[in-house]
Structure 1
């Protein structure tokens, strides 16, 4: 494998580390200052802020203390004697067994939790379910054409949900053929497996990046990470796309660590294919393709980099051709209809410049009032220019700060907006429902944990600034930072970050490792030497 060791790559990596550090430290500080005072998010107030900061402090001390103890070097004589008596060691095989057995147990818990917290789909998912139910019983998408005749063009305006519709429709059709009716819980089952597989892939990625012991820690953290439970009934693109993203990341990390050229090319090709599939389910995953190409240029010499990029692109393009061919065969929407009703990308940039940057009904009606895609785009561009001009530099800066804080501070990932029609009335919904008796506790804890994760990401970013390395961790950091920049421009909400939570967790571990190494370096030299002599 021909590595690129030139100074230019390290300089670019250090610059990236500086930008990453500045942006995320600034984000973290602003979350503390304005994130929970009720001005950015009405769910919080000064009383909530006090509790969130207190819980954050407890979580930071508790998680770090446990992690430092768990990963501490126990190679002294006493530990050696204990180790010789122990029958179980975290070998590669045992670690794999723990991951699969742990995720098997987690799968059972996920099914129970999903059944207890299931809810009626709202907003976009409601439309996906309508079309899937029709397809399950009729075997076609004629309902889309019927909606079009009734002047309702949801899927024409939002064709980005076509891949999700195909997944849910095929699952619904299968459930109909088996049971004779559309099984409401069937898509939830697919979502449960999507999240569970993502946890498995996250643990295996941690195994490659950090070793066996820390892979088990990541598995345990994922099992206790509330969003991986609360999102189970919500079978939308955010969770359905997650295994494609972390799967592609795992393959790329594995490819970078391997020495066999054919194996490396095969993994990069497969990673490119997963990136495309993930992109069709959730458009923001295209970030991974761009970051992957840049990293290949930085990591390898030019000729080798170009060859690997072509392999990566070939996987992306081949599966893209196959997918588009299949969709064209079943898609009832014509090119003329797309030309008349589909929203241009400028629509989401326009919405991203208003208020907190979230979905805006007035902007939606404004865009759809124009008769062609080009007219829509021209109208959007006009509004974008007007809003930027009205903001001026100071206003645009304040807008971006509030938008970033609103997007990144929410550790619930916006789930309480989507579960407003629960199918069950139990104590779990008292925590999860927006009007639940204990929802404040759920919001406060989730926000505090999100702050802890962001703090560790900040520390991980500083590591890249201080010690720039073109390694596998740079891939993860590049994706997360690119997502940060992307959602500064795009229409946004915290839910859009959910599929990247595996990367957040892996960067959290890297941040704790960096913090531990820094604290170890502060030990007195005499004490450090004494510890070494006792080993």
Structure 2
């Protein structure tokens, strides 16, 4: 059994290194910018020395960890809210649907103006519902500036995600690792500007990393009731997260696979059963509510609901991004069965037309666009009719003169962290080959989750936004990357 698990571990980390390494390299080559390369070459030694300084003061970090966490949270929260107010804009398209729909629901008791949209895209009902809850609470206090409410909620959720990411790192490697993780967030510009982009990508930021944290607590659970409680909490977190962004389910699957790989079969079974029950009950209740109270035309829903295969089909054309012609194709059928069959035929045709070489080439393009965009495509929203112009807009908007420089710097930092994740996986691969991997090293869930997201994004519609809610998990994967670099530098010094 141990040999099988070790072989699977070696195989997984090998494939992880190949895939994420390929995407990182493809991202660097695609739309190459000298500034991106310069940023990468400066960031890697910079973050190495930051880590070294933090690790030298391990006792200080442990003693003052709570204070550091508090000041970090206050700093990020204040800056995010200030920048959010400066970057205020008028939401359109999908963000307008969840923002405008939530406001209308609060003010009128329904969101009838957006019913047509939600018949097509019921997957966004979760994001609207989350905003509705906070907008409704704000309305009881006489607050009517719901955009500010939205950005504050998004800021709080994103900062909480950062704190949970740090706590996860603390569980894995102690206070020094926990503080080092915070440096990744401080070095990533988009996290200062994420607050006003309160769409499903950022609203779900907290859920994948929270599942990872709860999974660590589950692994340490001794009593049966603790196992049950943490399993239910994981299921509840996954349920809420999935309602906002369905990719959250990937993390839950990663946790279960990790438990099986760690030979914690009973915990894996309990987690699987509890999570499945909670998810089924939650999703059934949620969908039943909207079907009975708002989107009551079952036949219209059956005809108009966009099938998930639509986005798979769209991901196989051009660069895999949004394609109006594909939407026209999907909506040209009145019979859902005929539509689904036609989409499946088109998917097979496009795969056949691309061939193996074409699919590999497309994977490089999609990987670079979906996973190599260090801005997390926040400008998709910030670009929408800014309320007022500011110096920030001169580099945050797609059409602004300094956006290429901003994008290059962000991508350089992001690709550096991706590279560190590959180095971290290489470190674990070498440990597995030498049979020296410790218990924390056996916790593969973050790597499995990020790998799963990569596979998903290579198949799905292309967008730089879709990686957003997995960035904290990427940081966890990358945190031990400098360790291999440290060992290499030490060996070079010795020789």
Please state which band the TM-score falls in when normalised by the shorter chain. over 0.9
User: How many angstroms does 1:289 deviate by?
Assistant: 2.1
SS of the aligned residue for 2:196 comes to coil
User: Structure 2-normalised TM-score?
Assistant: 0.92
Change (3 A) 1:315 1:514: farther
Deviation at 1:114, TM superposition (A): 0.9
Counterpart residue number, 1:457 = 421
CA gap 1:406/1:144 in 2 versus in 1, 3 angstroms = closer
Q: Is the 8 A contact 2:231 2:270 kept in 1?
A: no
Q: Per the alignment, do residues 60 and 302 of structure 1 end up closer, same or farther by CA in structure 2, a change over 3 Å counting?
A: closer
Bigger Rg over Cα: 1
- CA shift at 1:72, angstroms? 4.0
1:422 correspondence with 2:417: no
TM-score w.r.t. the length of structure 1 is 0.86
Q: Which residue of 2 aligns with 1:21?
A: 17
Closer, same or farther: CA 244–524 of 1 in aligned 2, 3 Å: same
The answer to whether the aligner puts 1:373 opposite 2:336 as a matched pair is yes
Give the superposed CA RMSD. 2.3
User: What do the CA deviations read for 1:10-55 (whole angstroms, capped 9, x no partner)?
Assistant: 211111011111112222222333x124xxxxxxxxxxx1221112
> 1:493: which partner in 2?
463
Shift of 1:279: 0.9
2:427 is paired with a residue of what secondary structure?
Answer: helix
User: Quick check: 240-249 or 457-466, which moved more?
Assistant: 457-466
| Equivalent residue number for residue 485 of structure 2 | 515
State how 1:9-88 maps to structure 2 within 5 Å: 9-33=5-29, 35-37=30-32, 49-72=33-56
Q: Give the distance between the partners of 1:464 and 1:219, measured in 2 at CA.
A: 22
Residues 1:385 and 2:348 aligned together: yes
Cross-structure match for 2:403: 439
C-alpha distance in 1 between matches for 2:231 and 2:491: 38
Q: 1:328 to 1:95 in 2, by over 3 A?
A: farther
- Residue 97 in structure 1 maps to residue 92 in structure 2: no
Q: 1:257 to 1:96 in 2, by over 3 A?
A: farther
Q: Is the 8 A contact 2:27 2:368 kept in 1?
A: yes
Q: Which residue of the other structure, out of 459, 476, 480, is the alignment partner of 2:450? A: 480
Please state if 1:285 is matched with 2:256: no
Deviations 1:225-274 (A, max 9, x none): 21212221011000111112211111112222344443233122201210
Paired residue for 2:79, among 93, 96, 109? 109
The 1:180/1:32 distance shift into structure 2, 3 A limit, reads: closer
Give the alignment partner of residue 363 of structure 1, picking from 326, 329, 337. Answer: 326
SS of residue matched to 2:147: coil
Unaligned 5+ segments in structure 2 are: none
| 1:278-317 aligned within 5 A | 278-303=241-266, 305-317=268-280
Structure-2 change in CA distance of 1:95 and 1:315 (3 Å): farther
1:197 is displaced (CA, Å) by 0.9
8 Å CA contact retained: 1:139, 1:173: no
Asked if 1:186 is matched to 2:182, the reply is: no
CA distance 1:402–1:67, change in 2 (3 Å): same
Q: Does 1:208 align with 2:171?
A: yes
Aligned to 2:3: 7
- Matched residues in 1 for 2:457 and 2:240: separation? 21
Q: Which runs of 5 or more structure 1 residues have no equivalent in the other structure?
A: 38-48, 75-87, 146-152, 526-535
How is 1:112-131 mapped onto 2 (pairs within 5 angstroms)? Answer: 112-131=82-101
CA contact (8 A) 2:257 2:445 kept: no
Greater mean alpha carbon deviation, residues 160-169 or residues 303-312: 303-312
